[in-house]
């Protein structure tokens, strides 16, 4: 990429991006990396090696915020790299927390230099240049623009699996959720742009595309002619991408038309993340979710009719204000009936400014903990049972890399998004087989992953 000469102070500096949060935040980080590389900066992994550290953060739950504050405080004690031309490391915070807190963050964390929001990631180079020039601390957050932002540079984390945003923002205002306040109203990207980006990704060697949005199912409501999500799925499937996925889906907007595509589009992978949040109709109503437990279970039936082997995952919030033992039992019952491959459980975390934060009837933390622990047990049992069914199965994985704990073990994903581990054979070079498909015979299903033997030749 050609260095951007408008920011002379950035040229040659190293940067590290630390991301806490969802895929949307991770995708924003890919844009930021693209922008900073275009300014002639060099990307490094660790904070220790970096002249500039950019934190991209999520504020959906308090835990992500606490992690951010811990990291930012500990940086004060980390020395700059010996070769650094700076006298002090530059720290920037962006993402949802930047958008929500703006200048307030500079007051809480006085050694932070730059704060930016979710709608002005393209101004980061200018803000960094300003802080380097004047040693002033700068905060800038903008309101959402009225159209879908395009043409930002991008440096993808993976060469073969890509996120492709189709909507940004959210109009749903679930009562516990901060996202609509920090990401703005829902905006859809025109179909031609989505298909054009899918084609470019394929030409770049990408094998797997995940269509991205807070609620991809409501795609198109704000566009002329109101194109539907099913049309987008078909159009992207028609580009010939090997593997197609999407996230996230709101049950109230998941149509029969989309469900049927699971059986019909050969490259639409048999896995769906469908957050239910609670199995109690009373709590669902208080959450402003606009569906009932029965409606959700009906969707699951339809999905399993269209694609019997589909792998389902969900999100659950435990301890929403007013959750009684009976409400919790309803959630437990729903999880038992669906038999998810994976369940992400979260303790309710009050987010200031959301309607639920001022609801009375907080559930005491010991009760939340007991319910949370109760769910983990059943979630683990189901994950174990689902994986046990794969013993002796022959699966095809897309190779991602090696295990963080053991460089001799390769890691890949099946169409159902299960993680597979297998021993890397001595003659195999991971750099050569990353992004290739391998056939694996599953010999040892574990609870959270499958272990197997490679049965195909990656060099063929």
Among candidate residues 216, 203, 202, 221, the one with its CA nearest the CA of residue 245: 216
Strands 167-168 and 187-188: antiparallel
Radius of gyration of the chain from Cα atoms? 23
CB of residue 318 to ligand 5AD, shortest distance in Å = 8
The Cα–Cα gap between 386 and 396 comes to 17
Please identify which residue in the block is written with the tokens 């013993």: 391
The Cα–Cα gap between 240 and 198 comes to 9
CB of residue 360 to ligand SF4, shortest distance in Å = 22
Position among 130, 207, 250, 351 found at the interface with ligand SF4 (CB under 6 A): 250
Is 179 near ligand SF4 (CB under 6 A)? yes
State the CB neighbour count (10 A cutoff) for residue 69. Answer: 14
Question: Site mask, ligand 5AD, residues 223-262, x = CB under 6 A?
Answer: ----------------------------------------
Is 177 near ligand 5AD (CB under 6 A)? yes
Contacts 24+ apart (CB under 8 A), 68-74: 68/20, 68/93, 68/97, 69/109, 71/18, 71/47, 72/109, 72/111, 72/112, 73/109
Pick from ligand 5AD, ligand SF4, none: which does 180 bind, CB < 5 to 8 A by kind?
Answer: ligand SF4
Is 383 near ligand 5AD (CB under 6 A)? no
Of all residues in this chain, which one has the CB nearest to ligand 5AD in the complex? 315
Position among 112, 174, 216, 283 found at the interface with ligand SF4 (CB under 6 A): 174
Pick from ligand 5AD, ligand SF4, none: which does 61 bind, CB < 5 to 8 A by kind?
Answer: ligand 5AD
Position among 10, 32, 317, 379 found at the interface with ligand 5AD (CB under 6 A): 317
CB of residue 271 to ligand 5AD, shortest distance in Å = 17
Is 183 near ligand 5AD (CB under 6 A)? no
Pick from ligand 5AD, ligand SF4, none: which does 351 bind, CB < 5 to 8 A by kind?
Answer: ligand 5AD
Is 315 near ligand 5AD (CB under 6 A)? yes
Contacts 24+ apart (CB under 8 A), 194-197: 194/164, 194/166, 194/232, 194/235, 194/236, 195/235, 195/236, 195/239, 197/164
Question: Site mask, ligand SF4, residues 201-240, x = CB under 6 A?
Answer: -------------xx-------------------------
DSSP state of 118: S
Among candidate residues 53, 78, 80, the one with its CA nearest the CA of residue 68: 53
CA 341 to each of CA 143, 251, 261, 303, 379: distance values in angstroms, whole numbers, following the listed order: 38, 18, 21, 14, 8
CB of residue 344 to ligand 5AD, shortest distance in Å = 7
The Cα–Cα gap between 392 and 388 comes to 10
Binding region for ligand 5AD (CB under 6 A) out of 48-56, 231-239, 281-289, 341-349: 341-349
Please identify which residue in the block is written with the tokens 């025109």: 190
Pick from ligand SF4, ligand 5AD, none: which does 170 bind, CB < 5 to 8 A by kind?
Answer: ligand SF4
Binding region for ligand 5AD (CB under 6 A) out of 1-9, 258-266, 342-350, 398-406: 342-350
Is 177 near ligand SF4 (CB under 6 A)? yes
Is 349 near ligand 5AD (CB under 6 A)? yes
Is 190 near ligand SF4 (CB under 6 A)? no
Q: Which helix (H) or strand (E) holds 385?
A: helix 365-388
Is 22 near ligand SF4 (CB under 6 A)? no
Binding region for ligand 5AD (CB under 6 A) out of 43-51, 118-126, 191-199, 348-356: 348-356
Pick from ligand SF4, ligand 5AD, none: which does 320 bind, CB < 5 to 8 A by kind?
Answer: none
Altogether, the residues listed in the chain come to a count of: 460
Strands 419-423 and 114-116: unpaired
CA atoms within 13 A on the CB side of 291: 20
Binding region for ligand SF4 (CB under 6 A) out of 177-185, 325-333, 363-371, 414-422: 177-185
The Cα–Cα gap between 169 and 190 comes to 15
Backbone φ/ψ region at 169: left (φ over 0), alpha (ψ -120 to 50), beta: left
Angle CA 281–284–285, to nearest 5 = 90
Note whether 315 and 344 are within 8 A (CB).
yes
DSSP state of 143: P
Position among 280, 348, 435, 450 found at the interface with ligand 5AD (CB under 6 A): 348
Is 346 near ligand 5AD (CB under 6 A)? yes
Is 60 near ligand 5AD (CB under 6 A)? yes
Pick from ligand SF4, ligand 5AD, none: which does 55 bind, CB < 5 to 8 A by kind?
Answer: none
Q: Which two tokens stand for residue 17?
A: 């991006």
Is 112 near ligand SF4 (CB under 6 A)? no
Please give the residue ranges that form the binding site for ligand 5AD (CB under 6 A).
Answer: 60-61, 176-177, 275, 277, 315, 317, 346, 348-349, 351
Please give the residue ranges that form the binding site for ligand SF4 (CB under 6 A).
Answer: 170, 172-174, 177, 179-180, 214-215, 250
């Amino acid at each position: 990429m050609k260095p951007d000469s408008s920011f002379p102070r950035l040229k040659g500096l190293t940067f590290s991006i630390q991301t806490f949060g969802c895929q949307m935040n991770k995708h924003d980080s890919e844009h930021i990396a693209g922008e900073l590389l275009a300014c002639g900066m060099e990307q490094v992994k660790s904070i220790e090696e970096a002249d500039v550290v950019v934190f991209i953060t999520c504020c959906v739950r308090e835990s992500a915020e606490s992690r951010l504050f811990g990291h930012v405080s500990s940086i004060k004690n980390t020395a700059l790299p010996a070769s650094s031309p700076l006298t002090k490391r530059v720290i920037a915070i962006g993402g949802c927390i930047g958008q929500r807190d703006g200048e307030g963050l500079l007051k809480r964390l006085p050694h932070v230099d730059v704060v930016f929001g979710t709608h002005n990631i393209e101004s980061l180079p200018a803000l960094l240049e300003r802080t380097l020039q004047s040693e002033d601390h700068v905060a800038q957050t903008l309101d959402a623009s009225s159209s879908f932002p395009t043409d930002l540079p991008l440096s993808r984390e993976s060469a073969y699996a890509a996120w492709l945003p189709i909507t940004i923002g959210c109009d749903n205002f679930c009562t516990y959720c901060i996202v609509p306040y920090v990401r703005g109203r829902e905006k859809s990207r025109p179909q031609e742009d989505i298909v054009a980006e899918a084609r470019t990704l394929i030409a770049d060697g990408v094998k797997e595309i995940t269509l991205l949005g807070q609620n991809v199912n409501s795609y198109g409501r704000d566009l002329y002619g109101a194109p539907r999500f099913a049309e987008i799925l078909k159009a992207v499937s028609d580009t010939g991408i090997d593997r197609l996925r999407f996230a996230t889906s709101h049950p109230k907007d998941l149509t029969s038309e989309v469900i049927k595509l699971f059986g019909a589009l050969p490259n639409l992978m048999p896995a769906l993340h469908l957050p239910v949040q609670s199995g109690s109709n009373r709590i669902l109503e208080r959450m402003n979710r606009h569906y009932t437990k029965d409606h959700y279970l009906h969707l699951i039936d339809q999905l399993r009719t269209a694609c019997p082997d589909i792998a389902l995952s969900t999100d659950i919030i435990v301890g929403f204000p007013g959750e009684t033992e009976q409400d919790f039992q309803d959630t437990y019952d729903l999880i038992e009936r669906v038999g998810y491959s994976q369940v992400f459980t979260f303790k309710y975390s009050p987010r200031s400014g959301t309607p639920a934060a001022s609801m009375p009837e907080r559930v005491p933390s010991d009760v939340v903990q007991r319910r949370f622990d109760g769910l983990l047990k059943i979630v683990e049992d189901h994950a174990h049972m689902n994986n046990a069914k794969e013993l002796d199965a022959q699966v095809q994985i897309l190779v991602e890399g090696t295990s963080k704990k053991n460089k001799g073990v390769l890691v890949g994903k099946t169409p159902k998004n299960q993680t597979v581990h297998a021993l890397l054979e001595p003659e195999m070079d991971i750099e050569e087989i990353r992004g290739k498909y391998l056939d694996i015979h599953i010999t040892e299903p574990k609870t959270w992953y499958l272990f197997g033997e490679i049965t195909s030749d990656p060099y063929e």
